[in-house]
């Protein structure tokens, strides 16, 4: 707790977040979906469904990009010739 007292947001990363940082994708995607859909939706009758769909699209796209980048870094980059 004492570490958080000296934390300066936007200058230093959050201390001791460790391997939990990918979970921050969930509130980020939900918030982004809520705001975007509130601005762009013409009829609010389907607002909750639209937000849920957009949230899942963001999460699945990020997971897919993570898998693609992991494949590139782990398997394709080592195959490049070293000069």
Tens-of-pLDDT digits for all 83 residues of the chain? Answer: 556 677 777 887 777 777 888 888 999 999 999 999 999 988 899 999 999 999 999 999 999 999 999 999 999 888 889 87
Is 59 inside any structural domain? yes
Which residue range(s) make up the domain with 39?
Answer: 20-79
Domain count, the chain: 1
Is 25 inside any structural domain? yes
Is 46 inside any structural domain? yes
Is 67 inside any structural domain? yes
Alpha-carbon span 28 to 58, nearest angstrom:
10
């Amino acid at each position: 707790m004492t570490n958080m007292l000296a934390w300066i947001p936007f200058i230093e990363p959050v201390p001791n977040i460790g391997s939990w940082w990918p979970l921050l994708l969930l509130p980020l995607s939900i918030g982004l979906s809520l705001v975007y859909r509130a601005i762009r939706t013409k009829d609010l009758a389907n607002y909750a469904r639209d937000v849920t769909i957009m949230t899942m699209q963001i999460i699945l796209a990020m997971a897919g990009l993570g898998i693609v980048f992991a494949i590139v870094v782990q398997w394709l980059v080592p195959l490049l010739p070293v000069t």
